[in-house]
């Protein structure tokens, strides 16, 4: 039923608009009053009460073919096939009554491991978001495109927890058997992006590819550096280095051939963004980019990145081509250095430390950092948190699977691992000061240059 409904031939019956251009999506979003233009021609949208991810509303369908592989628990909550089918049918009925937008694209820059994904959105601005974040096919690739996974985003559809088996009106439900993701009840676009990451975190280990929540860049000597870390620790900022070329800002795979970017764009946190500190990201926020929950002047359209009126978790999505010299396709060799980024808000960690393989695997499993304000609903000040592999909410398998893969890569390629604290020094949050970006960049440079 899903495959039939989502074919191009049915687009008129279901009022689907397939693979619109950036200009068409921007114009449609403006016409429908979903968003406004900033002074730099970026599209600004507000996401309502959901300004971050909703991890307690994420479910995996409990299916016999996948049951024994999933690390069930608070982060991978089971939902029945019956509840999934009911929600799925609700989503189909909901879409049939509305104009919707379809983007066909790829995840994974290495064609050997590339996953064709179809994304269907209720909102034009959400479709622009995935258009810029995923890998965009050329005309020839579109002619023969066959999705292996379908993501359906219907923010206006609210779940009934009693009838639908959810915890709230919001739901993010993954069926690995049906190869479908349902997202509803939230307008936060980051759920679309992270659902794709969760899919790859399940699929790729079975293909001997290590999926990683990290950014990556490369220098003139082909020296690749990986930056692991949770939201707000500096992955995107540190990888967008004017002296090096960006491979990707958030999600990569490490195969026997080297590393590859999962995405075709970047999703940067932009609270307190300035041209002085982050010139590449600042200049990337132009036509075709999407700003989430950024305050703009109603008269001039000028963004105010220092204003957290809507949330601390203001975001910017843009195609990787907006970063000068970005590596496309995002494929490179094995890393010369692996860097763990931790925003320690308690004045415990030193600014930098070199780790043994065993220490690296242990810290990778612990994933200590401070959850910063705004990255999740309800977080208003830094909180100590432990997130396995710097991405526990996106790991369907046991974290030890990923830690073992890290250890094997370190051994095989003799890769050094460093821990860099991008948090507070001289005392905890409120007493000490956050380590200056210039100091962190200097430490990173020292690591990469040996």
Active site residue 136: no
Which residue among 118, 193, 235, 409 is the active-site one?
235
Residue in the block written with tokens 């590859």: 260
Active site residue 207: no
User: What's the N-to-C CA distance of the chain in angstroms?
Assistant: 56
Which residue among 175, 236, 289, 342 is the active-site one?
236
Active site residue 236: yes
The verdict on whether omega for the bond into residue 329 sits within 30 degrees of 0, i.e. cis, is: yes
Active site residue 126: no
CA 196, 332, 110, 247 torsion-angle sign: positive
Residue 368 phi, psi (nearest 5): -70, 135
> Which segments of 247-398 does DSSP mark as H helices, in order?
279-284, 357-366
Which residue among 58, 118, 178, 213 is the active-site one?
213
β-partners of residue 44 are 36, 291
Active site residue 244: no
Which residue among 47, 51, 170, 231 is the active-site one?
231
Residue in the block written with tokens 């460093």: 418
Nearest to 195 by CA among 186, 24, 157: 186
Q: What is the crossing angle of helices 399-413 and 357-366, to 10°? A: 150
Q: How far apart are CA 88 and CA 437, in angstroms?
A: 45
Active site residue 434: no
Which residue among 57, 110, 250, 344 is the active-site one?
250
Active site residue 231: yes
Count of residues in the chain: 450
Q: How far apart are CA 44 and CA 300, in angstroms?
A: 13
Q: How far apart are CA 80 and CA 415, in angstroms?
A: 43
Which residue among 83, 194, 244, 336 is the active-site one?
194
Active site residue 65: no
Q: How far apart are CA 55 and CA 321, in angstroms?
A: 31
**Which conformational region is residue 208 in: left (phi greater than 0), alpha (psi within -120 to 50 degrees), or beta?**
left
Catalytic residues: 53, 194, 213, 231, 235-236, 250, 315
């Amino acid at each position: 039923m899903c495959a039939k409904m989502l074919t191009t031939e049915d687009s008129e019956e279901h009022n689907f608009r397939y693979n619109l251009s950036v200009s068409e999506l921007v114009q449609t979003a403006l016409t429908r009053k979903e968003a406004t233009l900033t002074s730099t021609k970026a599209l600004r949208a507000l996401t309502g009460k959901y300004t971050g991810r909703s991890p307690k509303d994420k479910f995996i369908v409990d299916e016999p073919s996948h049951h024994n592989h999933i690390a069930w628990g608070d982060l991978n909550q089971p939902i029945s096939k019956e509840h999934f089918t009911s929600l799925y049918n609700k989503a189909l009925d909901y879409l049939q009554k509305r104009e919707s937008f379809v983007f066909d694209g790829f995840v994974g820059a290495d064609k050997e491991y590339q996953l064709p994904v179809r994304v269907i959105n209720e909102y034009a601005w959400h479709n622009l978001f995935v258009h810029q974040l995923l890998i965009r096919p050329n005309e020839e690739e579109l002619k023969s495109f066959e999705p292996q996974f379908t993501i359906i985003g219907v923010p206006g559809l609210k779940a009934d927890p009693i009838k639908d088996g959810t915890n709230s009106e919001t739901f993010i439900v993954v069926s690995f058997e049906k190869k479908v993701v349902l997202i509803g009840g939230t307008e936060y676009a980051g759920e679309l992006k992270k659902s794709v990451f969760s899919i790859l975190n399940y699929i790729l280990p079975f293909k001997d590819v290590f999926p990683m929540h990290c950014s990556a860049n490369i220098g003139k000597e082909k020296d690749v550096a990986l930056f692991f870390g949770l939201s707000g620790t500096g992955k995107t900022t540190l990888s967008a280095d004017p002296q090096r070329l960006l491979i990707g800002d958030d999600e990569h795979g490490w195969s026997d051939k080297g590393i590859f970017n999962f995405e075709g764009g970047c999703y940067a946190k932009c609270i307190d963004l300035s041209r002085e500190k982050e010139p590449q990201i600042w200049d990337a926020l132009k036509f075709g980019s999407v700003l989430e929950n950024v305050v703009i002047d109603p008269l001039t359209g000028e963004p105010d990145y220092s204003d957290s009126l809507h949330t601390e978790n203001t975001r910017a999505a843009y195609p990787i081509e907006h970063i000068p010299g970005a590596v496309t396709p995002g494929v490179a060799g094995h890393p010369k250095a692996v860097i763990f980024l931790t925003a320690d808000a308690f004045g415990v960690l030193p600014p930098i430390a070199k780790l043994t393989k065993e220490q690296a695997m242990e810290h990778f499993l612990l994933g200590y950092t401070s959850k910063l304000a705004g990255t999740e609903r309800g977080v208003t000040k830094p909180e100590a948190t432990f997130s396995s592999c710097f991405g526990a909410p996106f790991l369907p398998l046991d974290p030890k699977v990923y830690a073992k893969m890290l250890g094997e890569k370190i051994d095989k390629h003799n890769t050094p691992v460093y821990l860099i604290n991008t948090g507070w020094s001289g005392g905890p949050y409120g007493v000490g000061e956050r380590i200056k970006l210039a100091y962190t960049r200097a430490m990173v440079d020292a690591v990469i240059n040996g």
